Amino acid sequence: MKLTKTVAIVTGAGRGIGRSIALTYAREGADVAIASRTPDELETLAKEIRALGRRVLIQPADVSRQDDVQRLVDRTLAEFDRVDVLVNNAGTIIMPGDLLGTTVDAWDTMMAVNARSVFLCSKAVLPGMIEQGSGKIINISSVAGLRGLPNREAYCASKYAVTGFTASLALDMKPHGIAVNAICPGAVDTPLTGVSRPGDEKVGWMQPEDIADVALFLASDDSRAMTGAMVEVGGWSG
């Protein structure tokens, strides 16, 4: 197993990519703290993780809120005594996505959930990672954080914020033995993508497990030479 004696936090873990990452990490030996705004989904996921013989901490949280994030990290440290891997997966998109159709509230929500949460969660785990001299931060961005997409101005802005944050933080954390990388998926068959592309045929779409496999690589020692990478997976299908 690739993640024996590893403690991971996964945000947005109730469904989709986050759920798949949490299960993949548990199968590979990690104990996992799972967070989302959907407690019922977390309970279901926790049962599956325990069935794999791993410990799990459930923490309902809105990770765009600083107090929720600090509670998540404090509880994880109290339960497991360390954080080795942080997966910043929580994200949202609000339609319509074109600029004239995007309200100020929609813009603020996407920036908060997609970008502010990455800042808050990373800042909360870094003191412990710096003290232990190791750690992995994996940010789930998007191909929308690598190039512009039509009718997605606010979403692209929030995901470009994630890739820029990743590149900068990787430079700062390299001397501390902490790797910071981003995964930039194309179309993945999740409830969130269903909102942004309703009615689309899912030809060529990836499954959450495809992204979880990349997240496993970045969490494991296999990626020991990587930091500051924007790993594009699958391109933009459709």
> Are 136 and 90 a contacting pair, CB within 8 Å?
no
Q: Give first-to-last CA distance, the chain, whole Å.
A: 36
Calculate the CA 222 to chain-centre distance. Answer: 19
- What is the layout of strands, in order, in the sheet containing 7-11? 56-60, 31-36, 7-11, 85-88, 135-140, 178-185, 230-233
**CB of 234 closer than 8 Å to CB of 20:** no
Annotated catalytic residues are 155
Kindly list the distances between the CA atom of residue 220 and the CA atoms of 3, 23, 121, 147, 207, in Å, as whole numbers in the listed order. Answer: 6, 15, 20, 28, 21
DSSP assignment string, 117-155: HHHHHHHHHHHHHHHHT-EEEEEE--GGGTS--TT-HHH
Tokens 């690739």 — which residue?
2
Give the C-alpha separation, 141 to 182, whole Å: 6
Sign of CA dihedral 167, 71, 37, 26: positive
User: Residue 6: what residue type?
Assistant: T
